[in-house]
């Protein structure tokens, strides 16, 4: 502690503490003893009065301050000159400053000192207040933390990331040095939230953030933009350095995380951009890193991709497609085409498969392979799927009202649609709204869809089966079904995937697989339908195997409702050899 006398020695003419105390009521009044703010009078740099609150603030007895120390003794050395500049004598008027103060135990805290000149004992003096700013500064720090850091992981948020990126761009331009920017997104993270709940998901995000943070350098900035998306800025890194880190991050994430008693594994997809070759603007760099990251997802996930200009063109096309698809749902630009399904024993059309098409006002008819994956990634698949279901049921009932005999309406169900909580209710609503009998509706679900979390899906399938709706296992042979599960699934039909039919007349392996599926279906009392039949040779082989049903271009392409109605009336394939 500094000696107050070096700041302003008391003289023989100074009033003793007893005199100051006796004169106190003429200055403050009795309330000074009880007020909850530090009050003091100083003369010649020495305290002549301090109230009890100020003594407690600094951890001293009143007698240790009055006549012994002054304000400068309680401030850090760096604050001395500032205090002297703003409290420079009787002609200074009301003055204020903020400084760091030191308690008797050497702990430091921020204060605000407001002082004014007065005459005390016939000589110039200063009266002042000392306000502890600790709570205020803590609140300000909390506000800054909330404004700049992610509340869940404690990582920098978008606001702080953009600020640091601006600094990094300026430094890189000044030093003519590159830096890398990586966009990291966790693959299929939504499934973890859906399966285990958001609490487990949040704990997993924190664990991932911690593990990634241990893999990066101290000079790197790791930020969370929200959800399961992270951004990493690597000053001075080139393509080789970025690739090395991307590999290490993939390895780090691939090791299981133990969360709430569960061993969870998440894989990352990363996109990499390099300043300045991939962009000199922050927004462009971030966008291009996202483009590369989505390309990594398309490449199978759990990998990284560097940005290329070709990706941008593809991404622009995808964004335009997404925007137009949202409009298509609103403006009823979608339509259904129907492909007949043939009973091979007699050639009769016994059902049709409803297939969605998009009638784009400028591009014409767009096939589903161009837009279904966009619908699945953007969440549009559910409203599209619900519309397809309702329209197919309505059309089937309309054909019956027009005098056609009842036939099965087969409708494809996307994985996301099948997994949504209200799917069974949506099916019931479509049937009720159209008046179609449940036994005339067949829902085609891919083998992969059912085998993902098969136990959970059995409940949905059972509810649909009890409703009377037929279930068909689509793309059979491609999803590695367990025979034990196949026995438990309440399905009535297996569809041989077209990949086994395409080369049926030339490939003995395809013939063996198709024959095995037919025999398996017969043993399990399931109907078997071969899709993608295009040649008479394929048809003959399927009949030899005992396949019951078929569909494909050999019979008809998918047709609009107005065109296929004539096919349904004429039944041109009866007794077709």
3-state secondary structure 134-191: HHHHHHHHHHHHHHHECCCCCCECHHHHHHHHHHHHHHHHHHCCCEEEEEEEECCHHH
CB 75 within 8 A of CB 100: yes
Total residues belonging to the chain: 577
Predicted confidence band at 21 (pLDDT cuts at 50, 70, 90)?
very low
Cα separation, 87 vs 94, in Å, equals 8
Centroid of chain to Cα 361: 33
* Model pLDDT, residue 316: 66
Among the listed residues 310, 275, 312, the one whose alpha carbon sits nearest the alpha carbon of residue 290 = 312
pLDDT tens for 130-172 read 999 998 888 777 777 677 889 899 999 999 999 999 999 999 9
pLDDT tens for 69-121 read 988 889 886 555 555 555 554 455 788 888 899 999 999 999 999 989 988 88
Cα separation, 496 vs 541, in Å, equals 13
Three-state DSSP class for 27? coil
* Model pLDDT, residue 11: 38
Q: Is the pLDDT of residue 478 over 90?
A: no
Long-range CB contacts (within 8 A, 24+) of 213-217? 213/155, 214/252, 215/245, 215/248, 215/249, 215/252, 216/245
Q: What angle do CA 351, 356, 359 make, to 5 degrees?
A: 135
CB 191 within 8 A of CB 201: no
Residue with tokens 């009866």: 574
Q: Is the pLDDT of residue 1 over 70?
A: no
Name the least confident of 209-218, 258-267, 318-327. Answer: 318-327
Q: Is the pLDDT of residue 187 over 70?
A: yes
Helix (H) or strand (E) holding 342: strand 334-343
Average pLDDT of the chain is: 86
* Model pLDDT, residue 71: 87
Q: Is the pLDDT of residue 5 over 90?
A: no
Quickly count: other Cβ atoms within 10 Å of residue 567's Cβ.
Answer: 17
Quickly count: other Cβ atoms within 10 Å of residue 141's Cβ.
Answer: 10
Long-range CB contacts (within 8 A, 24+) of 486-490? 486/524, 487/524, 488/458, 489/450, 489/458, 489/461, 490/461, 490/462, 490/464, 490/465
pLDDT tens for 196-209 read 889 999 999 999 99
Among the listed residues 108, 138, 114, 112, the one whose alpha carbon sits nearest the alpha carbon of residue 127 = 114
Among the listed residues 569, 574, 573, 549, the one whose alpha carbon sits nearest the alpha carbon of residue 400 = 569
List the domain boundaries for the chain.
4-135, 149-314, 330-570
Q: Is the pLDDT of residue 297 over 70?
A: yes
Q: Match domain 330-570 to its CATH number in 3.20.20.80, 3.20.20.450, 3.40.50.970, 3.40.50.620.
A: 3.20.20.450
| Residue range 149-314, CATH number | 3.30.70.270
Three-state DSSP class for 551? strand
Cα separation, 528 vs 549, in Å, equals 6
Q: Is the pLDDT of residue 242 over 60?
A: yes
Distances (CA, A) of 16 to 41, 48, 68, 116, 430: 13, 8, 11, 22, 96
* Model pLDDT, residue 323: 81
- 528, β-bridge pairs: 494
Q: What are phi and psi of 336, to 5 degrees?
A: -110, 140
Torsion of CA 205, 210, 211, 215, to 10 degrees: 130
Q: Is the pLDDT of residue 7 over 90?
A: no
Is the pTM higher than 0.75? The answer reads no
Q: What angle do CA 457, 478, 525 make, to 5 degrees?
A: 65
For the record, the structure tokens of 131 come out as 């306000």
Predicted confidence band at 453 (pLDDT cuts at 50, 70, 90)?
low
Q: Is the pLDDT of residue 457 over 70?
A: yes
How many percent of the chain have pLDDT more than 90? 60
The bridge status of strand 470-476 relative to strand 441-446 is parallel
CB 337 within 8 A of CB 367: no
* Model pLDDT, residue 95: 87
Range 420-434 average pLDDT? 92
Q: Is the pLDDT of residue 10 over 50?
A: no
Do the two domains 4-135 and 330-570 of this chain adopt the same fold? Answer: no
Distances (CA, A) of 333 to 291, 320, 384, 442: 28, 16, 11, 25
Among the listed residues 78, 104, 93, the one whose alpha carbon sits nearest the alpha carbon of residue 127 = 93
Range 366-391 average pLDDT? 89
pLDDT tens for 551-574 read 999 999 999 999 999 999 999 999
* Model pLDDT, residue 14: 44
Burial (0-12, 13-18, 19+ Cβ within 10 Å), 343: middle
Q: Is the pLDDT of residue 29 over 50?
A: yes
Predicted confidence band at 480 (pLDDT cuts at 50, 70, 90)?
low
* Model pLDDT, residue 195: 84
Q: What angle do CA 277, 283, 289 make, to 5 degrees?
A: 60
Range 38-57 average pLDDT? 92
Centroid of chain to Cα 37: 49
CB 382 within 8 A of CB 347: no
Q: Is the pLDDT of residue 9 over 50?
A: no
pLDDT tens for 328-355 read 888 889 999 999 999 999 999 999 999 9
pLDDT tens for 409-419 read 999 998 888 88
Q: Is the pLDDT of residue 23 over 60?
A: no
* Model pLDDT, residue 449: 78
Q: Which fold has domain 4-135?
A: Beta-Lactamase (3.30.450)
List Cβ neighbours of 278 (8 Å cut-off, separation of 6 or more).
284, 285, 288, 307
């Amino acid at each position: 502690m500094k000696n107050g006398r070096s700041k302003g020695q008391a003289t023989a003419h100074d009033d003793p503490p007893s005199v100051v105390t006796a004169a106190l009521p003429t200055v403050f009044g009795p309330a000074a003893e009880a007020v909850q703010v530090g009050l003091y009078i100083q003369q010649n740099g020495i305290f002549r009065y301090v109230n009890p609150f100020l003594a407690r603030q600094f951890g001293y007895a009143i007698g240790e301050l009055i006549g012994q120390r002054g304000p400068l003794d309680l401030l850090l050395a760096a604050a001395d000159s500032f205090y002297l500049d703003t409290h420079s004598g009787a002609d200074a008027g009301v003055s204020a400053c903020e400084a760091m103060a030191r308690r008797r135990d050497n702990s430091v805290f921020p204060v605000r000192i407001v002082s004014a000149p007065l005459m005390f004992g016939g000589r110039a003096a200063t009266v002042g207040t000392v306000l502890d700013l600790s709570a205020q500064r803590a609140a300000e720090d909390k506000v800054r933390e909330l404004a700049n850091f992610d509340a869940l992981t404690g990582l920098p948020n978008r606001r702080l990331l953009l600020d640091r990126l601006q600094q990094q761009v300026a430094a890189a331009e000044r030093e003519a040095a590159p830096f890398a920017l990586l966009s990291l997104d966790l693959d299929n993270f939504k499934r973890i939230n859906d399966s285990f709940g958001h609490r487990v998901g949040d704990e997993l995000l924190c664990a991932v953030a911690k593990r990634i943070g241990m893999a990066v350098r101290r000079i790197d900035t790791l930020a969370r933009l929200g959800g399961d998306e992270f951004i990493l800025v690597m000053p001075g890194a080139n393509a080789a350095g970025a690739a090395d880190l991307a590999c290490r991050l993939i390895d780090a994430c691939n090791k299981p995380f133990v969360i709430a008693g569960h061993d969870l594994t998440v894989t990352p997809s990363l996109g990499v951009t390099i300043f300045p070759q991939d962009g000199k603007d922050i927004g462009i760099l971030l966008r291009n890193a996202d483009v590369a990251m989505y390309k990594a997802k398309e490449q199978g996930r759990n990998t990284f991709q560097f940005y290329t200009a070709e990706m941008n063109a593809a991404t622009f096309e995808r964004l335009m497609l997404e925007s137009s698809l949202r409009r298509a749902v609103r403006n009823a630009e979608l339509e259904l085409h129907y492909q007949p399904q043939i009973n091979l024993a007699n050639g009769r059309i016994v059902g049709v498969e409803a297939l969605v098409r998009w009638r784009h006002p400028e591009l014409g008819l767009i096939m589903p392979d161009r837009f279904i994956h966009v619908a699945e990634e953007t969440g549009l698949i559910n409203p599209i799927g619900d519309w397809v279901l309702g329209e197919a049921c309505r059309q089937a009932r309309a054909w019956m009202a027009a005098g056609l005999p009842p036939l099965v309406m087969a409708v494809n169900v996307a994985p996301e649609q099948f997994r949504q909580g209200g799917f069974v209710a949506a099916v019931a609503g479509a049937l009720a709204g159209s008046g179609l009998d449940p036994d005339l509706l067949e829902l085609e679900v891919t083998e992969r869809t059912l085998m993902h979390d098969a136990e959970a899906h059995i409940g949905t399938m059972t509810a649909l089966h009890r409703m009377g709706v037929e279930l068909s296992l689509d793309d059979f042979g491609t999803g590695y079904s367990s025979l034990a599960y196949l026995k438990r699934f309440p399905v009535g039909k297996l569809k041989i995937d077209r990949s086994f039919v395409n080369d049926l007349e030339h490939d003995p392996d395809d013939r063996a697989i198709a024959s095995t599926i037919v025999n398996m279906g017969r043993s399990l009392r399931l109907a078997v339908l071969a899709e993608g039949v295009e040649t008479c040779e394929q048809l003959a082989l399927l009949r030899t195997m005992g396949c019951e049903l078929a569909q494909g271009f050999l019979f008809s392409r998918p047709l609009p409702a107005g065109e296929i109605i004539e096919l349904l009336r004429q039944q041109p394939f009866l007794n077709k050899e």
